[in-house]
Each structure stands twice: as C-alpha cells, then as structure tokens.
Structure 1
Amino acid sequence: MKRFSNLFLVSLLSGAVTLASYKLLFDDNGYFSKNSIVTQAEPSFGRNVGLSAEAVDFTAAADKTIHTVVHVKNVSRTTVSNPILEYFYGFQGGQQQEQVGTGSGVIISEDGYIVTNNHVIKDATEIEITLNNKKSYKAKLIGTDSKMDIALLKINAEDKLPYTTFANSDSVKIGEWVLAVGNPYNLTSTVTAGIISAKARNLDTSGIQSFIQTDAAVNPGNSGGALVNTRGELIGINTMISSPTGSYTGYSFAIPSNNARKIIDDLIEFGNVQRGVLGVEGGELNAKASKELGVSETQGFYISNVRKKSGAEKSGLQKGDIIVKLDNQNIATYADLSGYINTKRPNDKVEVMYIREGKNKVASVVLSKNEIFSSEFKGLELENIDANDKKRFRLADGVKIKSVTNENLKQYEADLIGNIILSIDNIKIKDIESASRVFNTKAENESVQMEMINKRGEIIRIII
C-alpha cells in the first residue's frame, strides 16, 4: 500500500510538471506559441525610445494650429499698352491685366496681425485673407523685409482671432517631430508631419542664410504657412522647397521663428527692419579651408577682415580669430553666425567666444548699424544705397561706388563714382554684406564682370 502511495505521488508530480511546462512553452502566450516573438536579450538603459509617429500625438497641435493659418490671395493689376493701336489710332491708356497669386499666412495676434512670405504678396494691388472658417477680409500691408522674405499684414475682424504663439527656434533639435500647416487652395488648413532634418541650413540665397530643414511635405501654395512643434508653438515660417519638379520631393525649408519675430517687432515698432552687424568678414571653416589657412580647427567662422569703426574692431577682434560661440549659441558655420545676428538689433551686446593662437578668448561686442559700413574691392570703395537712390532709380538692392583708389581706373573716376553695382559675375548684389561675401570668393588678380546702373539710369557692364 505504501508502495502504491509513492507511485501515485510520483505520477501526480510528473503530471503537474508536464502541464506547467506545456503552459509555459506552448500556450497562447508561451515561449513557442504562434503569438510569441523571439528576440535576443538586450541590456536596458532606461526608457524606451519611440521611433514611430504613432507614438506621438499630433492631434492637439494640429487642432490648435489649423484655425490660425489663413489663405492669402494676392491680386496685382498691370497696364499693358499696344504700340500699334497707339500709333495708328491714337489709342491711349492700354489694357489692364489682372494676375492672382496665392499662399498661406499665420495669425500671430488676436487683433489680426498676420505673418507670411514677402514673395507671396510681392507687387500686390490688393490682398485678401480667408480664415479657416471661410470668412474673408481685406488686408493692409504693414511692412516687408525682402531680404529675409517676411511680410506683415493686418486685418480688422469683428471678434478676437485665434493665434499661434512663438517658440524659441534656437532650442529646436534635429529629429524633433514637427507639423507643417498651410492653406494652399482656399479649402481649409492642411497638415503634414515630419521631423527637423537640419538646422542653420545655408542655401546660398542672397538674403537669409539660416533655414530650418524638414521632411514635412510642403508644396507650392503652402509658402507663408506655419511650422510648429508638437505643442502647437510656432518655430518657423514655411518658405521654400528644393525640388527639380517644382513639387515636394523630400526637402522643405522654413525661416526660424526667432528671425521672423524680430522682423515683425521691428516693423511694428519702427516701420522698418533694424539690422545689427558684428563688423567682421570671412568664411566658415572646413577641412579644405583650414588646410589652406594653416589652422587646426575645422569648425567655426574665420575672420579675414574687421570693418573699421565696427563693434568688432572696438572689442579687439582681429584677422585670424575664429569665432566659435555667440552668447550660448555654438557657431560652426556662417549660417549659424548670420542666423543668430539676424535676431539682434543695433546696439545689442553679444558675447563672442573666439580662438586666437590656440587659446579661447571672450569679447563683448556692441552691434553696429549696417548702413554705416563701406567695403573696398579692387580699388573701389562701396557703400549701401540710400532711400533717395532707391526711389530715383526704382531699385530695392545694390551698392554705390563711393570713391576710386585703383590707379588703372582713376581716369574713369568721374564716370564711376555714384554708379550702383547690381551684380558681380551674375551674382545679384543686395547690400554691402552680400557684396563682401562675393569678394571673399574672388582672388585679388581675378577678373570680374560688374553690371551697374550709371547716374543717367543706363545699364552698363565693365570688366576689372
């Protein structure tokens, strides 16, 4: 009997072990079940990183932003004359033609201020704004900055408007999720998602040199729309795409919100943009440039010239210094430097960290006003054109020849002084800053072609 009890106990235990093993290995959630996924064990380093857009909730940011993005309609009217009718029949007046352009804009205040791109409303005779609720209003143009491609509009609505608040675009990080919101076809606001692909992207445009790059889909008509973070805060104004077809192919670019906000504040407070400059000329370092210059650093802004009477000169910055930081902003490229300075005004103070002879140094620089500077190239002293020049010659950009020190050109001095240079080797010259960038790419003995307008308003071209 005792033997039988022992056998029964062994059998009972064996059955329990078998059942437990089956449950562990083959049941629905067992190790060898159809529902299981076998993976290698990995060490744990804290929280899991969600790589999928499904892990991010975009709904709150989208709902917050779509009502603040508007459709912008630009109507321009031009008069086209018919010389044959005028000659034979004395017909005068010409025929009016109407052109319509569209884009997007972002409401930035409850009383109706709207920011968009300058190219969206350029040459507009009439501007119409349509809100996301389909209400339409005539807009007043408050001011523009063609260099930075920003325009400020104002509408008068019956009620307080929803608006987007500004975020600090300097603090956005590569890989951060963003939404691009536009109103391209006057339907309602549309939303696309992506990530920050790059910061301080230099596209070699004649204006802004520091774009935020994203892979959020942006197409023609979305220009002037909002780029927002997952909290629905404005980090950029969608401006352009890089595409061989004219449609989105993976790259879109936005003006950082810090740059846009500074321009808007200037236009509201002063009626024009107050531009501060550091007073240095040069270029960004890379392996090739560093080797040619004989320096070990491969990142930073190398100073090749310090402008006279500038804040940089007064603070002791010299040719050969390498700027690596402005305040708390790291400077690795020219786009980093120009992007940060473009958020400042004349008389703002900036702490400049630079390297001189291998040692880190810091200088406090008071920014100067851009208009006071001149530059010299091949014996021509140049200065920015003033409001009278712009009005007289109907120009928005260019630099004026102030004096001639080149002995070979002295005989033409009277004909050259006062001429306005429009381009150098087919590169458009907007101001002294853009001219200096072109000069830095040219060797002293290299011939260049200049297109200019003389004092009689005639376009001439010379090679020097």
Structure 2
Amino acid sequence: MTTAAVMAILMLGASAINPAVIEGASVKLNAKLQDDQIYINSKDLMKALGGTGQYDTKTGTFIYTAKDEIPEVVKAVSPSVVGIIGRPDAGAEGGSSDRYNLTHGTGVIIRSNGWIVTNAHVIDGLSNAVVVTSDGKTYKITDSYSDPTSDLALIKINAKSLKTAKLATSSSHMRVGETVIAIGTPVSFSLRNSATVGVVSGLNRGVNASYRLIQSDTAINPGNSGGPLVNLKGEVIGINTMKYAAVGVENTGFSIPAETVHYVIHHYFKYGEVKRASLGLTLEESWSAIVGLPTDDPLTVTSVHTNEAEKAKIQEGDVLYSIDGVRVTSVVDINELLKKYLPGQKVKLLMQSDGDIVTRYLVLTQGENSVVSVEDEAWDEVDR
C-alpha cells in the first residue's frame, strides 16, 4: 500500500457495489461526499472494524478481508476454561466400582489463585475429582462450595497466575440474535475446550429454575455443564446449565446469566454462603404464569413457614400482588427481586386477605422461596 491514502468507495446510486454488512455493529468514520459517491479512508476502516486490506495497483481495486472474531474469542477465552472429572459417589445415580465409570463437566477460572465457577450439579456427588486446565496440567480440588438453588458452585485448586475469564457485569446489553459461543467438555473428556457457535434465542426465561436464564441455540451436550457462554467481546455472559431434552427438539439450551453468577460469588466471598432472603411462604402461581402466558395474576399463599410471616398476619389463602411496590407474578420474579435484600430486612407486601386489599410488613428470613411445583419431564439438566 502506498503512502498516499487509499480510498474505499461506497456508491449511493443504483449502480453501487454491494456494501459489506457488519451484523450487530455500527461505526462512525470520516467520509467525503463527491459526485454521489462516499469516500472513506481505508486505514480508518481497518482501524474501526479490524481485518486487513490491500490495494492492487494493476487493477485499481482495494481488497478488504473482514476480521473473523470467533476464532480470536475462542483463543482468548479457552485458557480460562477447565475440565472437571471424577467418580460418582457410591449410591449416587450411576455410581459403581467400575474404574471407567467417571463423570465430567466444565468450569471457568474467575480468580488467578485457583477459584473456579461451575455448576452445582457437576460437583455434587462427585468424589476424587480433578481439574484439568487448558495446558494439560492436573489439579486436585482443595475446597468447594455448592449452591443447588442457583445450580452454581465454586471450587478451588492450588494454582497461581491462572488466566481469568472476563465476567460480564450484566446481560442488560444483550440482544436476541447476537452471536454467542459455548466452550466446554462435551460427551468425552478428551474433547476438552470444544467450541460451538449460535445466537441468543431469548432472554429472561423463567424455565424450571429459581432464577431467569438466557436461552441460546448454541449446541450444548453432556459435559458442557458449568462452561461459559461467551459474547464476541470475549465476556462470559452466562454459565451453561441445562437444555430442553425431548425427541425432535434441538439446540434449546439455557445459561445462568452473569448477574446471578456475580450474586453467588459476592455472597460466598463475603459471607461464606449465599444469604438468600426468603418470604417464608409457599406460593402457588396462576395457571397463566405456569403455562407461560403474559399475565398480571398474583400468587396465592398455600402455606406459612416462619414466625416472621405469622407475625405479619399472613395466612393460607392470602394473595400476593407486589413486594416493595414491584409487581410479582411468579416465584422467579420474587427470587430475582430479593437478590438485593438480606435476611433480617423488612419488605412491604401488597396482598389480598379475606377479600380486602391489605399492606403487610414482613421481616425476611434465610432460605428458599417455595412454589407449588408442576412437573415437566422434558426439562433436564445437561448430563455431566
């Protein structure tokens, strides 16, 4: 390329060459309009979008090769992804004395001193477990903490200077249709750090989990559990947890959003456990909420479990509309809302009792918020 600026041309008229379309991205470049043609500096183009370009003096053409982001993201994130393998405890499902009877999953390094996040269902009931990093080194697990409610777990290995993943602060910037990558250990432990690519299929899904999930069509298979779902910025936006398993259904997987991962990590490192705030009630969701219809229907109290709830004069058959002014229609709504509260704090509930609309002031306790369950055998965690 000569020292003179080579100008890439995008024509405005009907005879224009087809411009490149960059999905999900926009850039602002200095440009010059002349004779219904837009001229931009090729150096500015490559600086903004990446990639390479070359000017052919013989043909008078400029060839631009777009940057392929996916391989670069996989290369950058893979060193922070580990495989986890061990033996199911005797008496656990699938447990036996066969030395080949092993189970495995995936994890993500979040601290350079050896802390790793994975799924609770990966490490629960697992003995003699070891962690294998992307460079092939093997470590024993020295400490672990499991939170089955969120299906998240933290494990520790005796290592230093590990490369940590970048955990997104939130999923609020995500868009349905954006490209995402799953990295993990599918099917066989020899397939560690396998990558699959898809798109975000849906956000804020309330499906067979205590908190909202990200839905994607990225292929996740047995062993992908605990692995990262990554955006094209190289940020971990979720931890893969389960998929819809039924004949004829493909690529309907779910990941725990970064917000919930931050919530569990923060509580563990601050309190040594997740201090989950609870209303101390069992609630029944409306028919519309159960089948997934849009609804403002409230929840019905089916049982009262704590002295605090009894002191607040809450009784079986009462109806719950809102907590501190926020409308709730499902237990997932309640769990998401109560992330910002701790046991011992007080909330204001808008309820209906004996036909009257009333306000109750309830002191939160520690525990899970219960819901009358509806079984659906098609939902299944991703096998380890």
Do the two structures share a fold, i.e. TM-score over 0.5? yes
The code of the aligned residue for 1:200 comes to: R
Q: Deviation of residue 55 (structure 1)?
A: 10
Match of 2:318 in 1: 319
Query: CA–CA distance in 1 between the matches of 2:259 and 2:309?
Result: 23
Q: Deviation of residue 239 (structure 1)?
A: 0.9
Match of 2:35 in 1: none
**Is 1:437 the counterpart of 2:372 in the alignment?**
yes
Task: Determine helix, strand or coil for the equivalent of 1:262.
Answer: helix
Match of 1:232 in 2: 234
Instruction: Select which of 130, 143, 146 maps to 1:144.
Output: 146
Q: Deviation of residue 60 (structure 1)?
A: 5.4
Q: 1:263 to 1:341 in 2, by over 3 A?
A: same
Task: Determine helix, strand or coil for the equivalent of 2:111.
Answer: coil
> Structure 2-normalised TM-score?
0.63
CA contact (8 A) 1:266 1:273 kept: yes
Match of 1:62 in 2: 74
Match of 1:310 in 2: 308
RMSD: 4.5
Query: CA–CA distance in 2 between the matches of 1:29 and 1:298?
Result: 48
Higher helix share: 1
Identity of aligned pairs, percent? 25
Q: 1:130 to 1:243 in 2, by over 3 A?
A: same
**Is 1:210 the counterpart of 2:212 in the alignment?**
yes
Poorly superposed stretches of 4+, deviation over 6 Å? 33-37, 315-318, 351-356, 360-364
Is 184-193 or 145-154 further displaced after alignment? 184-193
Query: CA–CA distance in 1 between the matches of 2:173 and 2:314?
Result: 30
The code of the aligned residue for 2:308 comes to: S
Query: CA–CA distance in 2 between the matches of 1:355 and 1:171?
Result: 37
Q: 1:202 to 1:29 in 2, by over 3 A?
A: closer
Q: 1:50 to 1:161 in 2, by over 3 A?
A: closer
CA contact (8 A) 1:181 1:189 kept: yes
The code of the aligned residue for 1:67 comes to: P
> Structure 1-normalised TM-score?
0.54
Query: CA–CA distance in 2 between the matches of 1:165 and 1:270?
Result: 21
In the alignment, structure 2 segments of 5+ residues that lack a partner are: 1-10, 26-65, 376-384
Please show how residues 260-409 of structure 1 align to structure 2 within 5 Å: 260-285=261-286, 298-304=295-301, 307=304, 309-310=307-308, 314=312, 319-323=318-322, 331-341=328-338, 344-348=341-345, 366-370=363-367
Q: Deviation of residue 140 (structure 1)?
A: 2.2
CA contact (8 A) 1:306 1:319 kept: no
Query: CA–CA distance in 2 between the matches of 1:123 and 1:175?
Result: 37
Q: Deviation of residue 131 (structure 1)?
A: 1.2
Q: 1:266 to 1:309 in 2, by over 3 A?
A: same
Deviations 1:162-215 (A, max 9, x none): 333242246645444433222333444233231142313222x6xx35332222
Please show how residues 234-249 of structure 1 align to structure 2 within 5 Å: 234-244=236-246, 249=250
Match of 1:195 in 2: 200
Query: CA–CA distance in 1 between the matches of 2:18 and 2:69?
Result: 28
Q: Deviation of residue 68 (structure 1)?
A: 1.2
Query: CA–CA distance in 2 between the matches of 1:342 and 1:236?
Result: 17
CA contact (8 A) 1:140 1:153 kept: yes
Deviations 1:230-269 (A, max 9, x none): 33333321011112259x8120012233333333344444
CA contact (8 A) 2:289 2:330 kept: no
Please show how residues 178-193 of structure 1 align to structure 2 within 5 Å: 178-184=180-186, 185-191=189-195, 192-193=197-198
Instruction: Select which of 82, 86, 108 maps to 1:74.
Output: 86
Match of 2:130 in 1: 128
Q: 1:199 to 1:175 in 2, by over 3 A?
A: farther
Query: CA–CA distance in 2 between the matches of 1:286 and 1:72?
Result: 40
Higher-RCO chain (CA-CA 8 Å, sequence separation at least 6): 2
The code of the aligned residue for 1:217 comes to: A
Higher strand share: 2
Q: 1:306 to 1:77 in 2, by over 3 A?
A: closer
Task: Determine helix, strand or coil for the equivalent of 1:254.
Answer: strand
Task: Determine helix, strand or coil for the equivalent of 2:131.
Answer: strand
Match of 1:109 in 2: 111
Query: CA–CA distance in 1 between the matches of 2:81 and 2:266?
Result: 20
Deviations 1:9-57 (A, max 9, x none): xxxxxxxxxxxxxxxxxxx9985x79789xxxxxxxxxx99479x9994
Q: 1:162 to 1:354 in 2, by over 3 A?
A: same
Q: 1:100 to 1:237 in 2, by over 3 A?
A: same
Query: CA–CA distance in 1 between the matches of 2:168 and 2:12?
Result: 49
The code of the aligned residue for 2:232 comes to: T
CA contact (8 A) 2:114 2:160 kept: no
CA contact (8 A) 1:176 1:195 kept: yes
Q: Deviation of residue 309 (structure 1)?
A: 3.9
Larger Rg over CA atoms: 1
